[in-house]
Structure 1
Amino acid sequence: MVSLDGIDCGYGGARVLFGMGFEVMPGEVVTLMGRNGMGKTTTIRTLFGLLRPTAGRIVVRGRDLTGAAPHRIASAGLGYVPEGRQVFPRLTVEENLVATARGATQGGWTLDRVYAAFPRLKERRGNLGTHLSGGEQQMLAIGRALMTNPELLVLDEATEGLAPVIRGEIWGAIEALRREGLAILVVDKNLEALLRIADRHVVIAGGRVVWTGTTAQLAADRSEATRHLEV
């Protein structure tokens, strides 16, 4: 589905990523883990064309899209749920959902289907983005990404700052998407939840991949991976 190979990238003269590389296969759930400041968000911003790499390749569904504009990345089948949610504050819930929607094929994501997945959004369909709680904004950000009918959904800090009950709802929604076969790349700090939903894990430190493996491998011996996660 997506492959990053040897990506170098950063901000101005400061390099953040050093040979970053991993892949996500169709229908697979992959986590991107690491301590704060290790390059997770930079990796995702680079994947979506918001930062231009100075070396390496980004291949999406067999197409080399290295350095492509964000709209080309999105149209290749990637949906983005950014850190901090970033819903449109002066648009209603429904306007947020339709603003970037792409036509759904049979069985694809429509307003009715998003409302069925997140009933709370249907209740607040006329509310402005600024009038939603943090959890509702995260549901809206996920629903907005799903309305682009992606083949890979990317969530940066999926449950950061949310109350436990809302985190449970978000993880439940992600598990449901996984069962439907949607490929997912997720950043979060909740290791137990990630172990429950993911197929593979990529751990980064200092802008480099320092460990990668399956959930079974991580569950069998956490010491090598988790030493790069602990503060």
Structure 2
Amino acid sequence: MSAFLSVQGLQASYGHAQALFDISFDVAEGEVVTLLGRNGMGRSTTVKCLFGMLPVRGGSVSVAGARVDHLPSHRIARQGLALVPEGRQVFPNLSVEENLVATARDDKKGAGRRWDLQRVYSFFPRLKERRGNLGSQLSGGEQQMLAIGRALMTNPRLLVLDEATEGLAPVIRNEIWRALAELKQDGLSQIVIDKNVKALLGLADRHFVIEKGRVVWGGTSAELKSQPEIVHQYLGV
């Protein structure tokens, strides 16, 4: 499989404080990878760099072989990347349907079948039921479904989920994992950040562990399962 996203030697800083020292990983077409690690180790900072929300101080980010680390966020999104951000960040004063159409983009290069309102409503029936409700009137789980649906409406080739199921009830978490598994079957590449290692092992192809701004381990789900000391040392579980 060819790499759709390639991150090599990524470095980034907040002011004078360096946060990323050496982040390298790749995501192939149709592949699901995870970024694992404790809070504050650089996972979300890496995501900010991928989407141009934090300047890249060293290294490179390439999409389909082309460098994007110098581009503004809106141009990076046009390369086929979509973000489901930590905290969901839905538009609170727009209805569910208005949230979905606000950033819709019909990209014929997107993975799998085209995403439109009807397909999102079929994927998340609860959103159809609540389509007239404001974003602020939704539960946390409904907001996460909306954030995923909004990202899918851009017809991406790579979906990035930062804290995919944080703070959600178990039944809603299961629904989100089911949705991500379906997206994988549809051929959509994904980067997933979450603390539920067991669920991630069942979903992802490969995993990258980040510790103090560096990738310190990478491997397949089978390899991670066979090395429980990695999970204990770097994730504390």
Fold conserved (TM > 0.5)? Answer: yes
- Which residue does the alignment assign to 1:113? 119
SS in 1 for 2:178: helix
**Aligned-pair RMSD on alpha carbons?**
1.1
Q: Could you tell me which amino acid in structure 2 is paired with residue 187 of structure 1?
A: I
Q: Deviations over 1:90-149 (max 9, x none)?
A: 100000000000015482100000000000000000000000000000000000000000
- Which residue does the alignment assign to 1:194? 200
Within 5 A, what are the aligned runs for 1:1-231?
1-103=4-106, 105=108, 107-230=113-236
**TM-score, normalised via structure 1 length:** 0.98
Contact in 2 for aligned 1:203/1:225 (Cα 8 Å): no
Q: Could you tell me which amino acid in structure 2 is paired with residue 167 of structure 1?
A: R
Displacement, 1:226? 3.4
Cα distance in 2, alignment partners of residues 225 and 2 from structure 1: 25
Q: Could you tell me which amino acid in structure 2 is paired with residue 116 of structure 1?
A: S
Q: Could you tell me which amino acid in structure 2 is paired with residue 200 of structure 1?
A: R
Contact in 2 for aligned 1:86/1:141 (Cα 8 Å): yes
Displacement, 1:36? 0.6
**TM-score, normalised via structure 2 length:** 0.95
Q: Deviations over 1:14-70 (max 9, x none)?
A: 110001111111000000000010011000000000001111111011111112100
SS in 2 for 1:50: coil
Contact in 1 for aligned 2:105/2:155 (Cα 8 Å): yes
Q: Could you tell me which amino acid in structure 1 is paired with residue 56 of structure 2?
A: P
Structure 2: which 5+ residue stretches go unaligned? Answer: none
Aligned residues: 231
Cα distance in 1, alignment partners of residues 137 and 97 from structure 2: 13
Structure 1: which 5+ residue stretches go unaligned? Answer: none
Q: Could you tell me which amino acid in structure 2 is paired with residue 196 of structure 1?
A: G
Contact in 2 for aligned 1:200/1:214 (Cα 8 Å): yes
SS in 1 for 2:190: strand
Cα distance in 1, alignment partners of residues 232 and 105 from structure 2: 39
Displacement, 1:13? 0.8
SS in 1 for 2:207: strand
